[in-house]
Amino acid sequence: MLFTADHDEPRRALQKFIAAEINPHVDEWEKADIFPAHELFKKLGDLGFLGLNKPVEFGGQGLDYSYALMMAEELGAITCGGVPMAIGVQTDMATPALARFGSDEVRREFLAPAIAGDQVACIGVSEPGAGSDVASIKTNARSDGDDYVINGGKMWITNGTQADWICLLANTSDGQVHRNKSLICVPMKTKGVQVARKLDKLGMRSSDTAQIFFDNVRVPKRNRIGEEGQGFTYQMIQFQEERLWGAAACLKAHEFIINETIEYTRNRKAFGGSILDNQVVHFKLAEMQTEVELLRSLIYRAAEALVAGEDVTRLATMAKLKAGRLGRELTDACLQYWGGMGFTNETPVSRAYRDSRLTSIGGGADEVMLMVLCKMMGTLPGLKKGNA
């Protein structure tokens, strides 16, 4: 069993925090196109939620991944997608590799304040010319004595305008593309780091997303996470937690929209009865609820495997793929039942429609997820089964 009675207390505490400290402010943050990350993260850090499965010696709780997944699932109750995504970057995208492979020195400098909520982190992988194709990134970190000198640019950086440091993937040699990259912690106030612009997005409005340039940015080599040249491997491992976390965060969000749509269609009258009385409506909502439960089972199975130390690439990839596609289908169907009101920005279904679209793009597009699965199945041309 993934969850036990030990999960109940932190779950209730997080539910209470979301109800009191986040959801009352979501509409305001959505209109402002940003939320106060430092203020909110500090509160979460004080409650221990930014390091549930991180090492105790750096301020974490030292628990297993099931607690991180529990948190992801509960954050789905936030009435927008941007805030939970930003929190997830802090806990399960920018810091897993640092926690697992970083030296004690670099973990004290960057991981400990991230867990405490004293600093905001972001992850720098995607570039204007390389998103899901991680091997093709161009940002480079040239060796110069005890330092790296970094040049290049990153795109689609969640938390980018508020972050104190970035977990940056850069080329540290001219070797083979899967063996020439390193993850480096770069303070955002370092000379030469420029936040060029905050991007204007379709959805996830309350989460700031930046384009960042690096012009001869000098950082000490001690800021590198783990071994030089292992960054691609570390990031692929990190991606599995990110993808599983992102899928889990969809569960309550999907259920919320189903329940909101049930209430709206029950009360909305047309042609002598409620919209919900139409078989096409209540049958579709039943199908969508069934799909959510199937997704939950897949996510829980993957999380149990991760806790057991197994490779979850296949299951996490499937979960991420399914979460994105289900989100698109579910929000589109529900929006249709809201009629004209669904096309306004005054309803939760329109926000969910906009926010959920990113799940099939960010963290690896659907097509990349399918390629990963096909590699593992041995169905890609020129590959034998298992040669992923």
Q: How confident is the model at residue 1 (pLDDT cuts 50, 70, 90)?
A: confident
CATH topology of domain 5-120: Butyryl-Coa Dehydrogenase, subunit A; domain 1 (1.10.540)
Kindly list the catalytic residues. Answer: 242
Q: Flag whether pLDDT at 354 surpasses 50.
A: yes
**The model's pTM:** 0.96
pLDDT tens track for 34-62? 999 999 999 999 999 999 999 999 999 99
Q: Flag whether pLDDT at 324 surpasses 50.
A: yes
Looking at domain 233-377, which of 1.20.140.10, 3.40.50.720, 3.40.190.10, 1.10.150.130 is its CATH number?
Answer: 1.20.140.10
Q: Flag whether pLDDT at 98 surpasses 70.
A: yes
Query: Is there a contact between 25 and 39 (Cβ–Cβ < 8 Å)?
Result: no
Tell me, what's the pLDDT at 388? 46
Given this structure, which CATH class describes domain 122-228? mainly beta
Separation in Å, CA 341 to CA 183, 276, 338: 46, 16, 6
Mean pLDDT for the stretch of residues 333-338: 98
Mean pLDDT for the stretch of residues 176-185: 98
Q: Flag whether pLDDT at 387 surpasses 90.
A: no
Q: DSSP string of 332-370?
A: HHHHHHHGGGGGSTTSHHHHHHHHHGGGGTTTS-HHHHH
Chain-wide mean pLDDT for the chain?
A: 97
Tell me, what's the pLDDT at 384? 62
Tell me, what's the pLDDT at 382? 80
CB atoms within 10 A of CB 175: 11
pLDDT tens track for 198-224? 999 999 999 999 999 999 999 999 999
Q: Flag whether pLDDT at 174 surpasses 90.
A: yes
pLDDT tens track for 125-164? 999 999 889 999 999 999 999 999 999 999 999 999 999 9
Mean pLDDT for the stretch of residues 183-192: 99
User: Domain extents for the chain?
Assistant: 5-120, 122-228, 233-377
C-alpha closest to that of 166 among 178, 176, 154, 175 = 154
Report the phi/psi class of residue 254: left, alpha or beta, with left for phi > 0 and alpha for psi in -120 to 50.
alpha
Q: How confident is the model at residue 365 (pLDDT cuts 50, 70, 90)?
A: very high
